[in-house]
Amino acid sequence: MVLPTLGNAWSGMWARTQQTERYGKCSLLPTSNPVGLLGRRSLHTKAPLAAATVILLVVGTLATTSLLALRRTLHDNAGARLITLNEQLGGNFTSSTAASRQRYLAMAGRPAIAAYLQDPGEGARDAAVAALEPSGPQSELTLKVELRRRDGRIELMRENGSEASTLLGSGYDHDWPALADAAASSDPRVHIGKLRQSGEIIFWPAVAMVPKHADAFVVTWRRIGNNAQARADIARTLGSEAAIYLGNADETVWSELGVPSSAPPPSTPGQVFQFARAGRDRMIAVRGVIGGTPWAYSLEFPTAVVEAPARRFVWTMSQIAAGCVLAGALLAWVVSRRVTAPLLTLATAADRIARGEPARVDLKRQDELGRLGIAFNAMAAEVEAARRHLEEAVEKRTGELRAAQESLARREKLALIGHLASGVGHEIRNPLGVMANAVFYLETIQPDASPEVRQYLGILRRQIELSAKIVNDLLELSRTSPANRERIGIDRLVDERLQRVGTSAAVEADIPPDLPPVVVDPVHAGQVLDNLFTNALQAIDGAPGKVRVKARATDDGFVRVEVSDTGPGIPREHFGKVFEPLFTTKARGIGLGLALSKSLAQANGGDLALVSGPDQSATFAFTLPAADGFA
Amino acid sequence: MSRRILIVDDDKEMVRTLRDIFSLRGWDTGVAYSGQEAIDAQKQAPFDRVLMDVKMPGIDGVAAHKVLKRLFPKLPVVLMTAHRVADVEATTAKIVTKPLDLPALFTMLDQPAAL
């Protein structure tokens, strides 16, 4: 199913490309088949079948047409041959019959017979009987010779073999005067009688008038020979399948060389016709008459013999057709394989693409299929590029969405904490205030108290102050005011904050003077920087380390301020958490600084990120939108 | 004649500590535990200064200041808050945050022109 497979694979790819463009997402669900290639059989099955069918039709048509023409020609030829043979045979029969008549006449004219008729003495009788000796070819076929009177009375008789009496003694009722008249009116005065049948024997009378005697005639009874010689003669003359049937012209007593048979249908002598002979094949035949006799003959060939060349033709054509069909089918198979193999390769590749795997084809051809392969590769590259683009876009969007979600969660958490801190801070500040007042009062009224009392009052005062500071920081950090952005130089922002943290000695600032100004809320940006500096200074914790501040303009319209320290760095497992509210590793700290800073950075169109590895000291990158990129 | 200061807070211990501290510094002190009490006390016997908490039940510090300001336009009032200054309702009074920076407060109260 090469083409449907290719069609499905194509459809899948096509549908996914469409989805990619419309919805920007991929689906592995099977899709319907917009190409809709019909047919379930493989091309390399169908092509040989089609080729075989076409060849069969063509050869069959040609063979049938040729066969019909050939048969017509064969029949025509056979007919012509039959007519020729018929003419020869008719002539032969007529001339041999004429010769026979002369012989019968000669026998009847023998002097011994005439002498006997004049003086029928004993001696004359023996001489006359001797004169009834048959002569001429195949005289053994003569059954009996009789000398009769016109009324049929037998004067003399000579039998030739024992069967004669059996045949002729069975009361044949002959109209002897009619036979005598027929012979007398013939020229020469011989009459050949109709054929007669007795059992398997076909025989006939020849009546020859005795000269000068109107009352006496010689009857010669002969049978039709049935011998191999006659058969061989006919076969030699007419062919082994030919047959001659002889019978009376009035359709009675037909035989083939003396063997009784059915009569052929009546027909005009000399015209070729066909008929189905009972017990034999269909015959092509011609009828002839034998001059001087009441007989007819039928010269016949089986049409099967006539059509034998046609059958050989059909057989040869069948073999040729079979050869052609096989060769054609084989050729079609080879050719279709040549076509379908690349298509299968394409279909497989298209399936791979539909599954999202990379695929290229090398059909190693220069023809249209080769071009299809090149086009396919171009399309596959397009699809892959589109998919890659899509995946990148999805990844980017997902990242953005996740960042947005995190940002939102952070802001919500900060807002909640701010709300809480505000309430709790107020509640704690009041008791702290009372305590501070009390300590102030005690210190005021006891200027001369013991050193221990003064020390402990000092401890109380400092702890109260520390508590108050923590609460203040908490309230300050969770403050959420909308960004009020303005253009300001990054160097000014950094300087102000460094002055505030006060230990600029440990800070190395690398801020080029040609940086573009940034557009931020100075209070927010200051808060972020403040927090970063405080964290960095706490990380080095008075050790001889350094805090570095490096500012650079980026290609995409931001100024990036990197704050790093030479402290112990941040463990990798904390990377995902440092910006979460309430996450802290400090002994003292509530874990709001970095969360708040990131929130503020984002609220100002920038961002805050941790960029260093765990083995390095912490580096935070604070990006702020540059003025040029601020609409 | 010593100066008179009215200390107003619903937290009685806050009021007590402040009263003692101001007494030590030679102020005559009066106390009130709500905005209404503060107004009533001021009407009864006017004070030179009022130190008043913002968050109180009933009339809060800001509202009481408005009343006092109307009745005694020249009376210096300092409001105390445990919240951030920015979170306090808009007012013309001076605001200090708790815990109080007492030396700074003394200075402030000594210079009524600044109030």
Top mean-pLDDT range of A21-25, A251-255, A391-395: A391-395
Q: Tell me what percent of the residues of chain A surpass a pLDDT of 70.
A: 86
Is any Cβ of chain B less than 8 angstroms from the Cβ of A475? yes
Mean pLDDT score of chain A, rounded to an integer? 81
Nearest to B14 among A426, A430, A444 (CB): A430
**Are B99 and A429 in contact (CB < 8 Å)?**
yes
Which of B12, B23, B84 is best to mutate for the A interface (most A CBs within 10 A)? B84
Q: How far is A541 from chain B (nearest CA, A)?
A: 29
Top mean-pLDDT range of A72-86, A353-367, A596-610, B32-46: B32-46
Residue type, position A534, single letter: T
How far apart are alpha carbons A134 and A155 in whole angstroms? 17
Q: Tell me what percent of the residues of chain B surpass a pLDDT of 90.
A: 63
How far apart are alpha carbons A155 and A276 in whole angstroms? 48
Q: Partners of A157 in the beta sheet? A: A146
Q: What is the DSSP string of A98-167?
A: HHHHHHHHHHHT-HHHHHHHH---HHHHHHHHHHT---STTGGGEEEEEEEETTS-EEEEEE-SSHHHHH
Cβ–Cβ < 8 Å for B109, B78: yes
Question: A-chain residues within 8 Å CB-CB of B83?
Answer: 422, 425-426, 475
Residue A322 Rama label (left phi>0; alpha psi -120 to 50; beta): alpha
Cβ–Cβ < 8 Å for A35, A11: yes
Tell me the three state secondary structure of residue A166: helix
Q: What is the DSSP string of chain B?
A: ---EEEEE-S-HHHHHHHHHHHHHTT-EEEEESSHHHHHHHHHHS--SEEEEES--SSS-HHHHHHHHHHH-TT--EEEEESS-GGGSPP-SSEEEESSP-HHHHHHHHH-GGG-
**Chain B residues 51-110 within an 8 A CB cutoff of chain A:** 55, 80, 82-84, 86-87, 97-100, 102
Cβ–Cβ < 8 Å for A477, A592: yes
DSSP class of residue A266 equals P
Q: Mean pLDDT over residues A527-534, rounded?
A: 85
Q: What is the pLDDT of residue A38?
A: 41
Q: Partners of A216 in the beta sheet? A: A149
Whole-prediction pTM: 0.45
Question: B-chain residues within 8 Å CB-CB of A437?
Answer: 14, 17-18, 21, 99-100, 102
Is any Cβ of chain A less than 8 angstroms from the Cβ of B115? no
**Are B99 and A476 in contact (CB < 8 Å)?**
no
Residues A279-294 pLDDT 10s: 777 888 888 888 888 8
Radius of gyration (Cα) for chain A, nearest Å? 68
Residues A39-81 pLDDT 10s: 567 777 888 888 888 888 888 888 889 889 988 898 888 888 8
**Residue A230: is its pLDDT beyond 80?**
no
DSSP class of residue A626 equals B
Residues A99-115 pLDDT 10s: 888 888 888 888 888 88
**Are A441 and B83 in contact (CB < 8 Å)?**
no
Q: How far is A505 from chain B (nearest CA, A)?
A: 31
Helix (H) or strand (E) holding A624: strand A619-625
User: Which tokens hold the place of A211?
Assistant: 């000269």
Does the predicted interface ipTM exceed a cut of 0.90? yes
User: Which tokens hold the place of A142?
Assistant: 């003569």
Is any Cβ of chain B less than 8 angstroms from the Cβ of A432? yes
Nearest to B98 among A429, A444, A479 (CB): A429
Question: What's the residue count for chain B?
Answer: 115
**Are A433 and B86 in contact (CB < 8 Å)?**
no
Residues B3-32 pLDDT 10s: 899 999 999 999 999 999 999 999 999 999
